[in-house]
A and B are shown apart, each in its own frame.
Chain A
Amino acid sequence: MTHKPSRRQFLRNTVAAGAAITVAGKADAQSPDPLITEVQPWAQSFGDGVDETPYGLPISYENDVIRRNVEWLTADTVSSINFTPIHALDGTITPQGCAFERHHSGAIDLKKEDYRLMINGLVDTPLVFTYADLERFPRENHVYFCECAANSGMEWAGAQLNGAQFTHGMIHNMEYTGVPLRTLLEEAGLDTAGDLKDKWVFVEGADASSNGRSIPMEKALDDVLVAFKANGEALRKEHGYPVRLVVPGWEGNMWIKWIRRIEVMDAAVQAREETSKYTDTLADGVSRKWTWEMDAKSVVTSPSPQSPITHGTGPLVITGLAWSGRGAITRVDVSKDGGMTWETARLAKAGEKMALTRFYLDTDWDGSEMMLQSRAMDDTGYVQPTKTQLREVRGLNSIYHNNGIQTWLVRANGEAENVEVS
């Protein structure tokens, strides 16, 4: 925590864009608007030619919509995390360029020509695939969220980080193209494995950390994808180029990047990432292991601490994201009074299984203080719990799987703050 500029600077930046329009409602113009009455340069001369940007980045005015790092969370930046700017995004698809990263030994550079995928263990024929081989298998497309098991983990003991990006931004949602893991396992042949019910696959990456994880065969044969495209294009380097595992609904750690080997086994390996890490310690000191599914969760992305209300009273769009690793979101309720009363929000479209769902509550703000909350429900009937409910079962030291209801205190001046309420 070497640099810590003032909170005032932060607000200055987030509020600056809206500072000029603090007048509430529609005020009639006192004088003609020169942006209308005077010819503006963009209406007179040229913009950029089509050869200006072969592959474009967002316009400079959107420079604040970026991944952010929290320095004090980890010892260095190559085994670390950054955060998706969910407070500034809308819809459900995460732009790859600002989709969060989590590496254990950095984002490696692995070109397609050097890429190899091995399948070994209890298979009829151990196989090696090149990248080109993978592109010849029948493909599927699916949209899924990838949420780090540690998303919101810093908030177990109380309100810590001030912004939806930091409290809920270890997540992204992309449309993946790839080959079902089932197809590749069947290519190697599973007769040797015998009864598949009690079998596992151990999957590891090509990077130094390896990130090996054990996955039960039932899941491996169900909906796991070996993906090479995301949101229409090749995976980004930091997201596993050229090939990653997509494990719908399950904790992000299992979405092995730069995947190089799949071993069919009799039992779980109990690797570092499923013993020392990604195990959830309860109050009595006993720890849960194999907590794979990410439970139903939601967060209001705006207004939120990094996205304050700058337009005064009147019409206000309250919006956010909901998701569940156990199925589709069926309903999201929003409270403005810290959970005393709830209104059912509007889903932008019907929830899809294990994918982000956008919700809106179109409301009229009278300028009074709000304690904003959202509460997701999925198609198993599960209702997103409060943090208190979670803590009653798990205590404060679980680190992972915090899906408790978030509260933003929105003040009369439109600023919002991460709080906990009684």
Chain B
Amino acid sequence: PAMAQKLGLGRTALPEEIAAWNGDISPDGTGLPIGQGDAIEGEEIFATKCAACHGDFAEGIGNWPKLAGGKDTLNHEDPLKTVGSYWPYLSTAFDYIQRSMPYGDAGTLGDDETYAILAYILYSNDLIEDDFVLSNETFLDVAMPNADGFIVDNRAETEYAHWRSEPCMENCKAAPVKVTMRAMVLDVTPQEEAAAVPAPEVEAVVAEPVQE
């Protein structure tokens, strides 16, 4: 393509700078650091750095994410999406753990620590044995159960093709419209604290015929 004239702004990034920030790891393992760890080492680190939120067995505590379990639940009413049941690539887990975990103290894990923690998560998902050494060399040997569980956005065929017709304007429903569900029944909407002023009685609005 025809490129615009350069303005000569910015300066060349140094290799050390690129290395410091370029942490992304691709599904084929590109970007993985040299290192290794197993689930036994990982269990100890996980207990210290991760279990307070994610549970001793990566099963999650309270509202915090569950990292293990949920096998074969993706077509259930309430699917449990974890590293084992849902994530397609192991690279994502390494990348995310090393870059953004532990929550509140991100970017502090060494390469071997990350391999070990990830091995423990895989072990907790029954995806590896406890003597499996996860390393940059064995990384692609781990089969992720839901690797084939994703399709590229297909709305163009499944939705747009059908929803571009002129819409109905009158008599659009076969039967009279009825309310089928009400948010007030659930009553989970946050509500305001009581007003400081005494609330006036709310009078019902009296419906009156429109005066023409």
Contacts and interface: CB of A to CB of B under 8 A. Distances in A.
A70 B191 CA distance: 10
B188 to A, nearest CB: 6
Which bucket holds chain B's interface residue count? 35 or more
Contacts of B63: 74-75
Interface string A264-294: 0101011110011001010111111111110
Given A19-B203, A285-B79, A202 B24 contact: yes
Interface string B67-80: 00000001101110
A305 B9 CA distance: 52
Contact of A24 (B3, B65, B206): B206
Contact of B9 (A129, A190, A267, A371): A129
Interface string A325-342: 000000001000111111
A326 to B, nearest CB: 9
Contacts of B171: 340-341
A56 to B, nearest CB: 23
A88 B203 CA distance: 22
B210 A413 contact: no
A284 B181 contact: no
Given A269-B95, A383-B163, A9 B194 contact: yes
Interface in A345-370: 364, 366-368
A129 B79 contact: no
A276 B4 contact: no
Interface size class of A (residues with CB under 8 A): 35 or more
Contacts of A285: 74-75, 79, 149
Interface of A: 1, 4-7, 9-13, 15-16, 19-20, 22, 24-25, 64, 68-72, 74-75, 79, 104-105, 118-120, 125-130, 133, 136-137, 158-163, 166, 183, 186-190, 196, 202, 204, 208-210, 212, 221, 260-261, 263, 265, 267, 269-272, 275-276, 279, 281, 283-293, 295, 305, 309-310, 312-314, 333, 337-342, 364, 366-368, 371, 375, 377, 380-383, 385, 389, 393, 396-397, 409, 412-414, 417-422
A75 B64 contact: yes
Interface of B: 1, 3-4, 6-7, 9-13, 17-18, 21-22, 24-27, 53, 62-65, 74-75, 77-79, 81, 83, 86-89, 91-93, 95-96, 99-100, 103-104, 106-107, 149-155, 158-160, 163-165, 167-173, 175-184, 186-195, 197, 199-211
